[in-house]
Amino acid sequence: MKNFVKAALIRAARTMAECALAYIGSAALVSQVDWLGVLSSAAMGGIISILLAVATGLPEAPRGGGS
């Protein structure tokens, strides 16, 4: 269980960073970035990542590992 939670949180953090970068990259200038939109997009990506990990499992944290 401990390995699963750690792997899921790492994956969620990576997904959040990817979502934020994609959203920031859509603006022409840094001053035009909608920072609330960046945070919202990143948070939603993290939530979806955690839900998918619970629903489908993670290859880096096989079930029944004992820890």
pLDDT confidence of residue 4: 92
Q: Which pLDDT tens digit goes with each residue over 20-48?
A: 999 999 888 888 999 999 999 999 999 99
Phi, psi of 60 (to 5 degrees): -80, -10
Number of domains in the chain: 1
Does residue 63 carry a pLDDT above 80? no
The answer to whether residue 28 is domain-embedded is yes
Domain encompassing residue 52: 2-56
Phi, psi of 29 (to 5 degrees): -130, 155
pTM of the predicted model as reported, rounded to 2 decimal places: 0.82
The answer to whether residue 38 is domain-embedded is yes
Phi, psi of 19 (to 5 degrees): -65, -45
Contact at 8 Å (CB) between 18 and 46? no
Q: Which residues of 27-52 are buried (b: 16+ CB within 10 A; e: fewer)?
A: eeeeeebeeeebeebbeebbeebbee
The answer to whether residue 65 is domain-embedded is no
